[in-house]
Amino acid sequence: MAQPPIHHNPPRPTATMLPSTKTALLTLTTLLLGSTTSQTIYTGDTLQGYPIISSLDITDVPSNTISRFWLSPAEGQGGLPYFLPIFVARGSEESAHSGKRLSLSASIHGDELNPVAVVQKIFARLNETGRFPGNSSGRQHDEVSAGGFNGTIIGLPTQNPQGNLLNQRNFFTSSSNGFFTNLNRVFPGVTIEEGGGLPDAYAAAIWNDVWGNTTNVDVAVDFHTLSTGSLGPLWCYADYRLDGVQRLAELLEADMIKIDPGEPGSIETTWVEAGVPAITVEIGPGNIWNATLINRTVDYAFRLMEDLQMFGDSSGQVVPDLSETYIVTNFSGTAVSYSGWAEVDVGVLEDVEEGQVIGRVYNSWGDKLEDLSAAVSGRVLDVLVDPAVEAGTGVVTIGYNATASD
């Protein structure tokens, strides 16, 4: 498979069949462990005025209300606990069973900041609709009598606040002088009792104690960005082999959709292996807030809610506008052969032809070391904007359809 986007390492696999064995095991585990999350368990403590819980069950949180909780998925060195903020927007009493259960998770990587704003704004907008009369700050509009809200949404505005604090993509553990772990490669996690390390247990707490080992969730969207130093559009990974995933991807009205078999240990693939439709949404560059892409993604969330019939007055199935969406099956990465300074000529979403010169590399004297050429014809997904490069660094990713006639 061609080199993946700049921010993904190792590459996503090229398998063509769903891992049915893993799906069966996860399903069995759900049946065996689902009863462990039989109620929302409150620790009795609060943080910033909101209750701390050790497990979540959406069926017993307040109905017609947007609730806020904290959950501690693990403790770091010296017993210092980490805390995750959790929104739960629950509709009518019966909607926990009659409506869809949607998970919206963000910032599993600490430099992915657009997703934080996306989840925050989704719940602020939900509150403003007046569909949750249990929230005194919500505006009481006629929409309440028009149907209220049918379903439940779990929102995690950041899954890696430690990474946000450190301005670091990965999760830090301090033993043996320190290690960094990509949390999006260890799901569904392993508890300490089962032999897992701290990052594994951290992931297991999110999977089991927030999402209830799938019992709290029917549909999932995990929000990401590129790594810091790269520019990109609004796009997504989607494993079309599972029913419902294509619909999730198309409703995004993305600049690009990558039909993709998934990455073991990622949140998206763990959901898919458990039979839950899910996609990874990539919201532009890391470490900044891009208002345009944030607002487009918030709009997507509300199209998705409408399509899932979560609004009591939903008018029917949403028809997404795919006129500007470029759908690909493969990525081709252009990497530098020399350390030096890279100059890139092409921009995000620009169409390129095979063999086209798209940049060059200079040494410290300004002498050209090499030209960089596109290996395929396609559309630019992302470009590296940090000019200081080392040999082997990817600077441009091109999306293309390997089955296209051209």
> Which pLDDT tens digit goes with each residue over 21-35?
444 444 444 434 444
**End-to-end Cα spacing for the chain:** 19
Fold of the domain built from segment(s) 330-400: OB fold (Dihydrolipoamide Acetyltransferase, E2P) (2.40.50)
Half-sphere exposure of 229 (CA within 13 A, CB side): 17
Q: Tens of pLDDT along 276-297?
A: 999 999 999 999 999 999 999 9
Confidence category of residue 78, pLDDT binned at 50, 70, 90 = confident
Where do you find CATH 2.40.50.100 in the chain? 330-400
Is the pLDDT at 10 greater than 80? The verdict is: no
Token pair recorded at residue 27: 């399903």
Poorest-confidence range of 86-100, 145-159, 231-245? 145-159
pTM beyond 0.85: the answer is yes
Confidence category of residue 2, pLDDT binned at 50, 70, 90 = very low
Distance between CA atoms of residues 24 and 275, nearest Å: 9
Distance between CA atoms of residues 267 and 192, nearest Å: 20
Token pair recorded at residue 217: 């969730």
Confidence category of residue 317, pLDDT binned at 50, 70, 90 = confident
Which residue is associated with the tokens 């990474």?
Answer: 163
Distance between CA atoms of residues 2 and 399, nearest Å: 10
Confidence category of residue 136, pLDDT binned at 50, 70, 90 = low
Poorest-confidence range of 5-19, 246-260, 319-333? 5-19
Query: Does domain 41-135+145-308 bear CATH number 3.40.630.10?
Result: yes
Q: When comparing pLDDT for 106 and 3, which is higher? A: 106
Where do you find CATH 3.40.630.10 in the chain? 41-135+145-308
Q: Tens of pLDDT along 336-356?
A: 999 999 999 999 999 999 999
Distance between CA atoms of residues 141 and 97, nearest Å: 25
